[in-house]
Structure 1
Amino acid sequence: MSLSAEDLHWAPGGVPILRGVTLRLPGRGVLGLVGPNGSGKSSLLRLMAGLRRGTGGAVLLDGQPMARMRRRDVARRLALVEQDAATASALSVREVVALGRPPRRGAWAPWSAADEAAVAAALARAGMQGRGDQPWATLSGGECQRVQIARALAQEPRELLLDEPTNHLDIRHQLELLRLLPHLGARVVVALHDLNQAAAFCDEIAVMQDGRLVAQGRPAQVLDAGLIRDVFGVEARIERSGAGLRIAFF
């Protein structure tokens, strides 16, 4: 069992944002969450991370309702990297990543060799090894995003949720970050805007529209011209080859 949403509704103030979403993570690999702006991607990730509670349905972790679990226990299983995670600029890279360790430590426990090893491993997985002493304020946008991912990995999660991690990055840093996803040591759910990137880097894709999940499966099974027209309101041509598929818009 893993993380799932089961008939999940969220209607803050009576305004429906999520409408009966059932989403299950694949057994392994990267699940891409795509959809137009306002389709509910970020809201779904926050509910699945336990930061908000739905107004109907449930988020399950290993078959148990997350709402009944202690926040500390949830944080030991999964981590969320939001679009604009705030970090004090005076910290070093290592200090930022160490902020992910509290769920794994006792309230009064001293910093340990296990904590140090977890921080080092998280930096290595995020491709930031050897950069621990660098001031956070000197990092590029792509490096900042890698460090935020390392901070989440320091929790040692089994599921990692990423909300549009390529936002505001140039194309080189987008591709570098996306290539990391299969190697992070966790099941990954990542919200993306770019359908070609989702098709290239995700093992499965889940498509959101107006707060509903309208399709989920392998990119070649899910992405076709009809779905793209209906969901995104644009015409597209799907080009398939042995390397996968590419979407041309017109």
Structure 2
Amino acid sequence: MLRTLTLLSAAILATHVSHTAMAQEVSSNDVVQPPASANVESADQSNHFQTAFLRRQVNQTMSVGRAISSIAGHYPQEIVSIVDIALDTYPDKYREIIFAAISAQPASTEEIVQLAIEKEVSSCPNIVQLAIKAEPTYVDFVVQAAAVSTPEELDEIVRVAVLTQPDAADSIVQTLSQEHPNKIVDIMTSALNAVPFVGEYVVDALLAVFPNEAETVVETAVRESAQQREQVMRILNTAQHAGVSQDKLKEYAMSAGLSEDDFNSALGN
């Protein structure tokens, strides 16, 4: 893959041609800071020197993960390019590479996830799980990138994401439903089958952005949570506060097997 010349490429070339004595003055744990005046004419040369630079850092730190973290600290704008090279150079270390890169530069999470999926270093769900564990607060970016790259795996992406970060289930479902509004039922079903106790939060999140889909959202949530009586009651209460009519709520309650007393209790009657 050809890559355009970057600041890091120039830095790497300068490092390659720098005097040996200069290199000896640098600690083995530091990234060499070369002059910025070097120039590389071809993308092939850029690839060669970037790879050599990465290998040198890996040899110095004895770990590709530590090398990625070190380089990211000095060249944060180059993290995606470095991950690209690292995954080609050390494909069996993909877990360490992805985890270190996202932990060091979470703002690049979406690009890193897309890159890893495109390179097929592992299955999409595995990459999703790894990325979420590396930086849980960027879970929405992870699932969004994964769903764009492999929309055919949407159900599994949802399942793995909510199992990995159940506290963010409402946000995960909301994000993916906004990107794939025709898949709301499938997304909800996958999420609630994986983590049934998040039903009320999922309903609340979806009704906030899809008020006109209240019937579909509540009906799906009640159906998928029918075995959890308390959860169904909380879903009905959430739907009531969102403006769903009492007649509809009673219909859903009866379909889930709730008693009249349970229904009245859920609505605070």
Structure showing the higher strand proportion among its residues: 1
Q: Which structure has greater helix proportion?
A: 2
Structure index of larger Rg: 2
RCO higher in structure (CA 8 A, sep ≥6): 1
Judge same fold: TM > 0.5, yes or no: no
* TM-score of the pair, normalised by structure 2: 0.29
